[in-house]
Amino acid sequence: MTTPRRLLLVNGPNLNLLGTREPDVYGTATLTDVEQVTTDAAARRGFEVRAVQSNHEGVLLDAIHAAREDCAGIVINPGGLTHTSVVLRDALSGVGLPVAEVHISNVKAREEFRHHSYVADVALVHVIGEGVTGYATAVGRLIDILTGQAEG
């Protein structure tokens, strides 16, 4: 069986508001822009992307579980679930796929409660504070791991 050349892109709660929500923190790029940046970065390396965004944790969990069937890795911006969701962390761990964690803003320079990530210990790649272009960085690093060009 060959490894699928597909990544799952997961964007958590409130990321559908990109472009209008706190542009001083998150910029003016939209969720559509995020998906395009991610898709383009993956395509340059011969991968495709399936994208999901939801404000409902269970929808995200179901998408992560389904990724076991046809994805090689997961790029995720969990949004606020980063700091609160053990079940999201457990889903990522449970599927056994390499994970890249992305945050548009520098969460380490923001409120104290944003400094802890439940996803951090299951992610092989962490890209924080690079804006929307951070998604392309995460895709590149994750694909390097998947193709044996870097260690995870």
**34, 49 Cβ separation under 8 angstroms:** no
pLDDT tens for 74-132 read: 999 999 999 899 999 999 999 999 999 999 988 786 778 667 899 999 999 999 999 99
Based on the residue annotation, tell me whether 118 is a catalytic residue of this protein. no
Pure H helices in the chain: 23-26, 31-43, 57-70, 86-95, 133-146
Predicted pLDDT of residue 139: 98
Give me the CATH code for the 6-146 domain, please: 3.40.50.9100
Predicted pLDDT of residue 113: 66
Of these residues, 56, 65, 103, 116, which one is catalytic? 103
Q: Is 33 annotated as a binding residue?
A: no
Confidence of residue 1 (pLDDT cuts 50, 70, 90): very low
Query: pTM of the full predicted structure?
Result: 0.93
Residue 63's SS3 state is helix
pLDDT tens for 108-120 read: 867 786 678 999 9
Q: Is 14 annotated as a binding residue?
A: no
Based on the residue annotation, tell me whether 115 is a catalytic residue of this protein. no
CB atoms within 10 A of CB 10: 29
Domain map of the chain by residue range?
A: 6-146
Q: Is 114 annotated as a binding residue?
A: yes
The residues, any chain, with a CB within 8 Å of residue 118's CB and separated by 6 or more, are 81, 82, 83, 84, 85, 86, 88, 89
